[in-house]
Amino acid sequence: MNRRNFLQFLGVSGVLATLPSCSTNSALTPSGTSLPGLGTTLEDRLITADGLAYDVLVRWGDRINGTEKFGFNNDFIAFHPLASDRGLLWVNHEYVTPLFIKGNDRTKANVDQELLEVGGSIVEVKLEKGKWAFVPDSAYNRRLTGNTKIPFAGGRKVGGTTFALGTMGNCAGGKTPWGTFLTCEENYDIFWGDVDRKGKKTASWLAWDKHYPRNPQHYGWVVEVEPKTGAAKKLVSLGRCAHECAAVTKGKNGRVVAYTGDDSINEHLYKFISDSGDSLEQGKLYVANLEKGQWLSLDIADQPVLKEKFKDQTEILTYVREAAKLVGATPLDRPEDIEFDPLTGHVFVALTNNKVVKNFYGSILKIIEDNDDPASLTFKHETFLTGSGESFACPDNMVFDPKGNLWFTTDMAGTEMNKGPYEKLGNNGLFVFLRSGPNQGKIIRVASAPVDAEFTGPCFSPDYKTLFLSVQHPGETSPSLNKLTSHWPDGGVPKPSVVTLTGPLLDRIVEGKV
């Protein structure tokens, strides 16, 4: 790609350019120039490109304090520094694979154990001989589980109470400018089913509600967590849906702005503009209309159609999907992670796929707020990257480094990998779109996941020398404990784990030298 096209591609000139194809079946560019990337693989290993190595930091079942263990299916990771050589990690635990917990039988005893496996963990890590290590006896280590009592922020009542029991379905998340973690409750319906405004209930997949008939309205929120204490609250202000993440920045007026996506087919992209610069409890929620380039208010005072259909603002926020459709929101292809470009401030949104319309590969959307102001109510948008059957498919979680290189993971389902449209793509991977250096504009695969697994939650240490990464659901298509599809990382039953990636390749990419 020449410089003119590359600048166009980045949106500098306001013209969208097309990315040349980049096959991950070879570590060579079309011109034959060597790149430090991986080809595809179906091996049951975590494989890294030359110059990159991994270590397991903490795995499912590891004891984190005297009474609690690290949960299952770790996802989003956030880092809170305590000192130059110490920090706290928040790690989501999204859902369970019953086969690996206590079995597929939906007994009360099995559900009781599963309730302890979800939510999130706070664990301390420290630098030892240049590598981050888990501190198993730290006073900071604690769990939030499916049983933790969590209030609704601001004393709001939802479903008749001011608190919920537990958090689960915790997929991605974010951090606030004041240092708290945000963890997002995504597919809450697999645990509790759902209920519409008329009281009609849909069935759950895990049948937890068979033993504990909790109100589904209590789940599907963004949860704010204090790093050092674990104190949490559910932010009703951001609405209730299958939240994938919550990316937070500030507008030019100093107010906090939070973007979040609803990770379901034909659902929507939301933006919350706070009334203040240090809280997400009060403000106004908007939803995106891409055709008009507008953020549409979901406030009952602004929308006659909402005032006609809903009794109050809390009901709108509880059934925000219905409200979004009534005001004209654009249906999207599973909006997942959202990140801010450090070079331009533009908003990047991973759109994983939409099989209903035969979009199997997904794309990454770029939102360009008018006046480069996150608090703007108008915007432009472009497609930044598009997946294919030859390059990558189903972009999911993302993170930028200081040079603007975009690191992203993929989320092909375990039942579909190496089949149909994904036949040539191998296992899920970690990719980097190079924004700087001699190979700018190219994509390389720098790691490949074990069988059935996906990488999630990429998070850099403050010095960008380490990338923390979750390895989620290895072996999840296993038909039985006697017929396991994966044995990663230790042999035997597979264990979701958090790993650290380090090495000269990471350093060179972050320094813009690849």
Domain span including residue 398: 3-510
Domain count, the chain: 1
What is residue 366's three-state secondary structure? strand
Q: What per-residue confidence (pLDDT) applies to 36?
A: 86
Among 341, 357, 361, 358, smallest CA distance to 349 is for 341
What is residue 399's three-state secondary structure? strand
Contact 192, 208 (CB under 8 A): yes
- 172 CB-contact burial (10 Å; exposed 0-12 / middle 13-18 / buried 19+): buried
Sequence-distant (≥ 6) Cβ neighbours of residue 27 within 8 angstroms: 34, 35, 36, 37, 38, 39, 49, 444
Q: Measured between alpha carbons, how far is 471 from 453 in angstroms, rounded to an integer?
A: 6
Query: The pTM is what?
Result: 0.94
CA count, 13 A, side-chain hemisphere, 309:
19
Peptide bond into 489 cis (omega under 30): yes
Structure tokens at 223: 């949860």
DSSP 359: B
Q: What is the pLDDT of residues 16-61, one digit of tens each?
A: 323 333 333 333 333 334 688 999 999 999 999 999 999 999 999 9
Q: What is the pLDDT of residues 316-333, one digit of tens each?
A: 999 999 999 999 999 999
Among 292, 259, 260, 253, smallest CA distance to 275 is for 253
Q: What average pLDDT does the structure give for the chain?
A: 93
CATH of the domain at 341: 2.120.10.30
Structure tokens at 387: 């997946």
H or E element that contains 320: helix 320-327
Q: What per-residue confidence (pLDDT) applies to 144?
A: 98
Q: Measured between alpha carbons, how far is 381 from 131 in angstroms, rounded to an integer?
A: 40
Q: Measured between alpha carbons, how far is 105 from 403 in angstroms, rounded to an integer?
A: 50
Q: Measured between alpha carbons, how far is 378 from 296 in angstroms, rounded to an integer?
A: 9
Please determine, for residue 120, whether its predicted confidence score (pLDDT) is greater than 80. yes
Q: Measured between alpha carbons, how far is 487 from 491 in angstroms, rounded to an integer?
A: 5
Q: What is the pLDDT of residues 257-268, one digit of tens each?
A: 999 999 999 999
Q: What per-residue confidence (pLDDT) applies to 5?
A: 44
Contact 225, 90 (CB under 8 A): yes
Buried b (16+ CB within 10 A) or exposed e, 405-425: bbbbbbbbebebbeeebbeeb
Structure tokens at 282: 């009060």
Pairing of strands 142-144, 131-135: unpaired
Q: What is the mean pLDDT of residues 455-478?
A: 98
Partner residues linked to 409 by β-bridges: 430
Contact 163, 150 (CB under 8 A): yes
Q: What per-residue confidence (pLDDT) applies to 34?
A: 64
Partner residues linked to 292 by β-bridges: none
* CA–centroid distance for 240 within its chain: 16
Q: What is the pLDDT of residues 359-372, one digit of tens each?
A: 999 999 999 999 99
Q: What per-residue confidence (pLDDT) applies to 436?
A: 86
Q: What is the mean pLDDT of residues 294-299?
A: 98
